[in-house]
């Protein structure tokens, strides 16, 4: 018999993975509590609490807000990755980037502006008497 453990309410929702497969075209916004993988095309905004993976043939046109983003395909629009944005060698992003950390492989293309927002303490120093 398998051992079953109870999870706090909402925890199981974060384990979900949503896949938009190649050949699928979606027009509209996507809001998810888990992870998302896009291998098809999306024309709309994405908001996810988990990780967004854009496959090599994936295309997104719209604003993205996620904790982590891994791009192998194409994005046209603003990308906000609260933790890490990972641009693979086949990636192409046209738009502004806001990220905690940015990883860029040789061969990736990016047109726009980039703002890094670290998770560490502020650079401001307190005045002492």
CB 78 within 8 Å of CB 64? yes
pLDDT digits (tens, 9 = 90+) for 73-124: 999 999 999 999 999 999 999 999 999 999 999 999 999 999 998 654 444 4
What domain range is 111 assigned to? 16-116
pTM of the model: 0.79
The sign one gets for the Cα dihedral 116, 117, 119, 125 is positive
The answer to whether position 123 is within a domain reads no
- In a domain, residue 2? The reply is no
Provide the number of structural domains found in the chain. Answer: 1
Q: Do residues 52 and 39 lie in contact, with contact meaning Cβ atoms separated by under 8 Å?
A: no
Q: What is the mean pLDDT of the chain?
A: 85
């Amino acid at each position: 018999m398998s051992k079953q453990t109870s999870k706090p309410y909402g925890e199981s929702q974060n384990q979900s993975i949503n896949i938009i497969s190649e050949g699928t075209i979606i027009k509209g916004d996507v809001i998810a509590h888990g992870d998302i993988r896009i291998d098809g095309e999306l024309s709309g905004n994405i908001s996810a609490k988990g990780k967004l993976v854009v496959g090599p043939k994936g295309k997104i046109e719209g604003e993205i807000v996620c904790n982590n983003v891994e791009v192998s395909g194409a994005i046209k629009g603003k990308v906000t990755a609260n933790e890490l944005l990972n641009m693979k060698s086949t990636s192409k992003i046209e738009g502004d980037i806001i990220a905690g950390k940015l990883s860029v492989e040789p061969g990736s293309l990016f047109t726009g502006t980039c703002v890094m927002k670290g998770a560490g303490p502020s650079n401001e120093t307190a005045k002492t008497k």
